Structure 1
């Protein structure tokens, strides 16, 4: 992993995510782009035309660059050490998802890092519109960092899935392993099971998967665990709080396990608090890996 993209709107949540991202970049020995994407307030002289006042645009852009450089200096001073990531600042006007994908494609970005405004359970973490839109639109791994995420070496990453599409999950785990190698972190594959015991055939498949992953990926810090909980959402929140993991990773594809958590978030309120980052692996990466 060579380059990360930190998104900030200069809020406390966003700047905390940039701080976390810089610390992660030091672990990975990667460089970064610190980016602010803003929309200029529009005037509407006619019903069919929108005009962006040039004075407003110029003032916002100037303020954005000033705040970006200020945040960059803060990150560099705070995290002095052996390896110091090269950080470039960038600002763009327009819609978040469009501009992010343009930046990703034009700058060889390997991962996008952004903050969230929710910290009450996994469901609330995914409630914000920006987070939801980015989850659906991202073409690269997206790291969502809650306000309570602590800066510490990433030693264990959990990959959670219902394993309804084992081929895609396998490709996603390979992608995750490459990330974990840069951190020398353990990869823990978890499956949330309801009160019924997992079938013997499923456990056999997991055993075989573990052997295949260890051998083919040439990485032996891989384990699995089956958790019996009332439902997936409760189980993931419980595991994030008590499972002694530093990061949770999930594959995102239309109408999948992660989507069901997002869509059901308003009706299923979880009391536990997630305090670790969520790494979203987009299906587009899985399909690219699968085609090779």
Structure 2
């Protein structure tokens, strides 16, 4: 059985992301693991200059983590009781409470339980720009070599019919691998895929069209879903182009591949991510550059 690792710090945003994960898990028939990484209690100075930790403090923090995880599980179960219909798949919800840095905890647990995806929320109650501005999510994207679905606070629980894939078109073989990975993601959702590329000149546009034709030919498509189409956009900046395409094409989920010199890294360093918040309030799927698991 597939499993989704759901990260939570018990904030309002992460609770919304967990509710979205439950909705999403039902769609792809995957169980959930609610994961909270808590920090070591504050050290107590000892005589002689050493440091020690209170066992009582550690127990208190650990017990509080488990308590809140169980409360979140109960909340999700109650939410589902109001929408469950006979015959619907209902995800099993497991709990993970662990001491340590979030990235380290993820690396310890991600290879277990057939995890196929990590889901997390944004830092603030804004849109997609918060994904890039929040240090915790940015670090996850950079440190964890695993598919990560980031849920903005105002993302609605609506069917995902169109997935926009911001494709860099730098390496044909890697593009084919990435699109095939996205196809496997889109199939259980019965969602279609739109390959999006932002170009800056007519010469680049023609080269992009040839590149995309070769990618589509290599992938082929014998199934009803997903249908794969392309959309090229003449944009001065990546943000403007993605904003325009997401609005005009009715994109329900935006996907990118994290590469050192790809779209995502360029958006990180552009200084203009705030422009995206007014337009994009949809989930972001970040696929790893390497198709394998965590490093």
Q: 1:156 aligns with which of 152, 162, 179?
A: 162
Displacement of 1:16 after TM fit?
0.5
Give the stretch that moved more between structures: 208-217 or 37-46: 208-217
CA 1:153–1:197 in structure 2 vs 1: closer, same or farther (change >3 Å)?
same
SS of the aligned residue for 2:115 comes to: coil
Q: 1:186 aligns with which of 182, 192, 209?
A: 192
Report what 1:145 is aligned to: 151
Give the stretch that moved more between structures: 252-261 or 177-186: 252-261
Displacement of 1:193 after TM fit?
1.8
**Counterparts of residues 81-96 of structure 1 (less than 5 Å):** 81=85, 82-96=88-102
For 1:215 and 1:242, the matched residues in 2 are separated by 25
Report what 1:8 is aligned to: 8
Displacement of 1:51 after TM fit?
3.6
**Counterparts of residues 188-207 of structure 1 (less than 5 Å):** 188-194=194-200, 196=202, 198-207=204-213
Displacement of 1:72 after TM fit?
1.1
For 1:159 and 1:65, the matched residues in 2 are separated by 37
CA 1:240–1:201 in structure 2 vs 1: closer, same or farther (change >3 Å)?
closer
CA 1:59–1:184 in structure 2 vs 1: closer, same or farther (change >3 Å)?
same
Q: Does 1:72 find its partner at 2:73?
A: yes
SS of the aligned residue for 1:143 comes to: strand
SS of the aligned residue for 1:107 comes to: coil
Give the stretch that moved more between structures: 58-67 or 143-152: 58-67
CA 1:217–1:130 in structure 2 vs 1: closer, same or farther (change >3 Å)?
farther
Displacement of 1:152 after TM fit?
0.9
Number of equivalent positions:
286
Displacement of 1:99 after TM fit?
0.3
Displacement of 1:217 after TM fit?
8.2
RMSD: 2.4
Report what 1:36 is aligned to: 36
Structure 1 residues 180-239: Cα deviation after superposition (integer angstroms, max 9, x where no partner): 111111011100123546443431221232232234888551111111222112212333
Q: Does 1:255 find its partner at 2:273?
A: no
Give the TM-score taking structure 2 as reference length.
Answer: 0.88
For 1:135 and 1:49, the matched residues in 2 are separated by 36
Give the stretch that moved more between structures: 96-105 or 79-88: 79-88
Structure 1 unmatched ranges of 5 or more: none
For 1:264 and 1:19, the matched residues in 2 are separated by 32
CA 1:51–1:96 in structure 2 vs 1: closer, same or farther (change >3 Å)?
farther
Give the stretch that moved more between structures: 30-39 or 205-214: 205-214
CA 1:18–1:121 in structure 2 vs 1: closer, same or farther (change >3 Å)?
closer
Give the TM-score taking structure 1 as reference length.
Answer: 0.89
